[in-house]
Amino acid sequence: MERILVIGGARALGAAVARRAARDGYDVVVGARDVTAADVLAREIGGTSVRVDLQDESTLAAAAERLRDGVDHIVSTGSAPHDVRATELERDRLLAAFTAKVIGPMLVAKHFAPVLRPTGSMLLFSGVVGWRPGPGSLVKGVTNGAVEYAVRHLAADLAPVRVNAVSPGVVDSGTWDHLGDDKTGLLSKSAAGTFVGRHGETGDVVDTVMWLLRAGFVSGETIHVEGGARHRSA
Ligand SMILES: NC(=O)c1ccc[n+]([C@@H]2O[C@H](COP(=O)([O-])OP(=O)(O)OC[C@H]3O[C@@H](n4cnc5c(N)ncnc54)[C@H](OP(=O)(O)O)[C@@H]3O)[C@@H](O)[C@H]2O)c1
């Protein structure tokens, strides 16, 4: 049975990946900074849990030590948005955003390289904003763009372990629920900006993740799951 560690696995897209992976027969380790939430999901799906905080390297080292008998796949969904204009940037939040998406996963590679099985893979999360600049999306855009380069270079560094990214468009993953009634507006605006005329569903992303885990001849790639939004002019 292949073992998969899902970082950010206790909620939203990470939890959906963990649930599907368990259903598909993987040995799932739910990694999250809230280990209680990770534990609840792990028990529900018959997996295990481990504390992983992408902002705290010691938790990455400890998790790799706990899983030292081998890991096949690592999926990292972490994100720490800082959606402001350049004039409002806060250095700590800027660093946290880069750490969640880029620096943290690079340190995951550092600690897990010795335990990742050679037929396995790492999967990072980018996002469509990396290719659609706009006011207030500076940090999200640059960090998502950096993920594309991170997977190319990590793929070379960790070879033959494959390293790829999924870049979703706007997906109703639960992450937008805090917008309340405004969520509907966001989802319909994003649907209008695609070729397929709808917003993304969690299943669209999970299907792609599960395919990438098995896609043995794909490495260093960013797979766009956004209905063509990058290519639409308006
Ligand atoms: N949903 C979308 O519309 C969309 C669009 C484009 C790109 N994406 C990208 O897809 C990925 C997953 O999206 P989502 O909708 O599931 O996002 P989300 O709701 O923001 O979830 C992000 C996950 O990252 C975890 N996380 C944040 N900081 C962490 C840290 N320091 N250590 C470990 N885990 C940490 C969160 O865990 P906590 O519970 O501990 O906060 C949560 O599980 C993200 O990278 C996001 O940027 C999503």
Residues of the chain above pLDDT 70, percent? 100
Nearest ligand 1 atom, CA 34: 40
Q: What is the pLDDT of residue 233?
A: 81
Domains of the chain: 3-225 (3.40.50.720)
**Which of 47, 19, 49 minimizes the C-alpha distance to 35?**
49
- CA nearest 171: which of 228, 103, 225, 90? 225
Q: Report pLDDT digits (tens) over 23-33.
A: 999 999 999 99
* Spatial distance between the Cα atoms of 113 and 182, rounded to a whole number of angstroms: 42
**What is the 102 CA–ligand 1 centroid distance (Å)?**
13
C-beta 10 within 6 A of ligand 1: yes
Give per-residue pLDDT as tens, 50-92.
999 999 999 999 999 999 999 999 999 999 999 999 999 999 9
Q: How close is the Cα of 89 to the center of ligand 1, in Å?
A: 20
Q: Answer whether residue 234 shows pLDDT above 70.
A: no
- Distance, in Å, from the CA atom of 34 to the CA atom of 155, rounded to the nearest integer, reads 29
Both tokens of 80, joined, read 């720490």
Looking at ligand 1, which residue's alpha carbon is closest to its atom 24?
78
